[in-house]
Amino acid sequence: MAVVLTAWQVIYAITVQGMNEASSEVYTSVWLLISLVLAVGCAVLGIVAVSQRSQQRWPAIAALSIGVYVFLVCIATWVGQLLTATA
């Protein structure tokens, strides 16, 4: 899931550049929603994998860190958009 999340981030970064303002806002909202869902999924699966002792730990820690990082970035982006929309 962390690979899918990373691929989604790359796709968004490449495709958002050529859009006009109205389409860009809708696309960013969709990006935030999908990113939040994938980030929470990565974080949950990372926590479950870390708690299991039979598997290697580094893939679980990598998935957990990617999920938490993207979750925090999405929340910060969403709050930033709220602040600029009300100003």
Domain ranges of the chain: 2-15+22-86
Read off the pLDDT of residues 17-50 as tens digits, 9 standing for 90 and up: 888 877 888 888 888 888 888 888 888 888 888 8
The dihedral sign for the CA sequence 54, 55, 57, 61? negative
Nearest to 4 by CA among 55, 87, 72, 63: 63
Read off the pLDDT of residues 50-82 as tens digits, 9 standing for 90 and up: 888 766 778 888 888 888 888 898 888 888 888
Cβ-contact 79, 39 below 8 angstroms: no
Take residue 54 and report the two structure tokens written for it. Answer: 């039979």
Distance CA 46, CA 67 (A): 8
Take residue 34 and report the two structure tokens written for it. Answer: 């999908």
